């Protein structure tokens, strides 16, 4: 519980600059919708009882972002990303393999760095939840607090259309002695309190209203 409380406090403090960055009276309000495709790089989970690693595959990912004008050189963002991973665990007596969806739903903001040309950049923060959704119904679903930091490039094709490229680093807070992917037969993985990290590289297209 202490890890969860500290994480909320840290993410709140980190988000403050995005909410106070040189905002001026709106003079160019808009809403932008972006669709992304890319890949997600994962880490394994270590079972604290057996010491064995539950291997989680790197995989294809897709995402959707809605950004809207908040102030000068600043956007607010609602972001959803989803990826289907294979989890495999080799025990002393048997091996287990299953597919699990890792989904992020985050709310945050971006600071924009415009340029005189077509290319601009941005950095941002977000906070929200990670959803662990096993493909097999016999395993329980899980939800945890998470956040992301991101950086991106934007290439403007026209006043409404643009190409985007993003890199995002996710951190999911796992409580002490959490059990994941449990069924009537037991839990696949038991972990200690830690921050689970994933990295995402995405490319997409934006349409601005």
In sequence order, the 6+-apart residues with CB closer than 8 A to the CB of 186 are: none
Mean pLDDT of 200-205: 98
Contact 145, 7 (CB under 8 A): yes
Considering the domain boundaries, does residue 23 fall inside one? no
Tell me which long-range contacts 112-121 makes (C-beta under 8 A, separation of at least 24).
112/73, 112/74, 112/75, 113/73, 114/73, 118/155, 118/156, 118/157, 119/153, 119/154, 119/155, 119/156, 120/153, 120/154, 120/156, 121/151, 121/152, 121/153, 121/154
Structure-block tokens of residue 168: 């995002």
Distance of CA 197 to the CA centre of its chain: 9
Q: pLDDT for 92-108, tens place per residue?
A: 556 788 899 999 999 99
**Residue 194 has what pLDDT?**
81
Considering the domain boundaries, does residue 56 fall inside one? yes
Considering the domain boundaries, does residue 197 fall inside one? yes
Range of the domain at 147: 2-18+30-208
DSSP class of residue 114? Answer: -
Number of domains, the chain: 1
Considering the domain boundaries, does residue 90 fall inside one? yes
Whether pLDDT at 174 is above 80: yes
Considering the domain boundaries, does residue 24 fall inside one? no
Which pTM does this prediction carry? 0.83
Considering the domain boundaries, does residue 25 fall inside one? no
Note the helical H segments in the chain. Answer: 2-20
Which CATH number is 58's domain given?
Answer: 2.40.160.20
Considering the domain boundaries, does residue 164 fall inside one? yes
Q: pLDDT for 46-97, tens place per residue?
A: 887 777 888 999 999 999 999 999 999 999 999 999 999 999 887 655 678 8
Considering the domain boundaries, does residue 177 fall inside one? yes
Three-state SS annotation for 14-48:
HHHHHHHCCCCCCCCCCEEEEEEEEEEECCCEECC
């Amino acid at each position: 519980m202490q890890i969860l409380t500290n994480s909320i406090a840290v993410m709140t403090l980190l988000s403050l600059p995005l909410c106070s960055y040189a905002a001026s009276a709106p003079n160019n309000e808009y809403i932008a919708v972006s669709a992304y495709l890319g890949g997600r790089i994962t880490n394994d989970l270590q079972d604290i009882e057996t010491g064995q690693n539950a291997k989680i595959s790197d995989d294809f990912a897709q995402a959707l972002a809605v950004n809207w004008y908040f102030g000068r050189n600043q956007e607010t963002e609602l972001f959803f990303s989803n990826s289907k991973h294979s989890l495999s665990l080799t025990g002393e007596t048997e091996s287990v393999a299953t597919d699990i969806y890792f989904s992020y739903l985050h709310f945050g903001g971006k600071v924009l760095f415009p340029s005189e040309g077509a290319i601009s950049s941005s950095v941002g923060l977000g906070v929200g939840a990670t959803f662990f959704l096993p493909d097999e119904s016999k395993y329980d679903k899980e939800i945890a607090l998470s956040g992301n930091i991101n950086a991106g490039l934007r290439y403007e094709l026209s006043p409404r259309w643009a190409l985007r490229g993003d890199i995002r680093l996710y951190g999911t807070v796992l409580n002490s002695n959490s059990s994941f992917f449990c069924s009537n037969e037991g839990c696949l993985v038991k972990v200690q309190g830690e921050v689970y990290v994933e990295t995402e590289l995405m490319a997409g297209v934006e349409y601005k209203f």
